[in-house]
């Protein structure tokens, strides 16, 4: 975690508290060293910026890491739905693959 970068992000957040990218960037900064704090920011994004598709993959992955597979599953599913609605097929594909892997559905032909 880069304290200088985090301080600057909080300054951006103060200037524009509704900017989803800033919330996303803060969550990403916290991701490696303070997973609970990162989850707080991902959850803020999910609540306030439902169509910010990039959040779903990372939030679901973190829920899974934190031992909350039910929340991870529902987050992946909602992200898949939102990505499809937004026409973001790249995000849709990534979310679908991550969901399939988590659910044990990622198999290869022998």
Q: Which tens digits make up the pLDDT trace of 39-58?
A: 999 999 999 999 999 999 99
CB 44 within 8 A of CB 36: no
pLDDT for the residue numbered 105: 87
- The CATH-assigned architecture of domain 3-102 is Alpha Horseshoe (1.25)
Closest CA to 56 of 13, 105, 15, 99: 99
The pTM (predicted TM-score) of the whole model is 0.89
pLDDT for the residue numbered 3: 83
Secondary structure of the chain in HEC code, one letter for each residue: CCHHHHHHHHHHHHHCCCCHHHHHHHHHHHCCCCHHHHHHHHHHHHHHCCCCCHHHHHHHHHHHHCCCHHHHHHHHHHHHHHHHHHCCHHHHHHHHHHHHHHCCCCCCCC
Based on its alpha-carbon atoms, the radius of gyration of the chain, rounded to whole angstroms, reads 15
**Which residue stretches of the chain have pLDDT < 50?**
none
């Amino acid at each position: 975690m880069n304290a200088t970068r985090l301080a600057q992000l909080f300054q951006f957040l103060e200037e524009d508290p509704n900017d989803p990218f800033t919330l996303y960037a803060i969550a990403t900064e916290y991701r490696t060293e303070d997973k609970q704090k990162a989850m707080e920011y991902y959850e803020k994004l999910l609540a306030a910026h439902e169509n910010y598709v990039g959040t779903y993959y990372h939030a679901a992955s973190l829920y899974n890491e934190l031992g909350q597979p039910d929340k991870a599953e529902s987050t992946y599913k909602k992200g898949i739905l939102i990505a499809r609605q937004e026409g973001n097929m790249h995000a849709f594909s990534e979310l679908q693959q991550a969901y399939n892997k988590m659910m044990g559905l990622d198999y290869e032909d022998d």
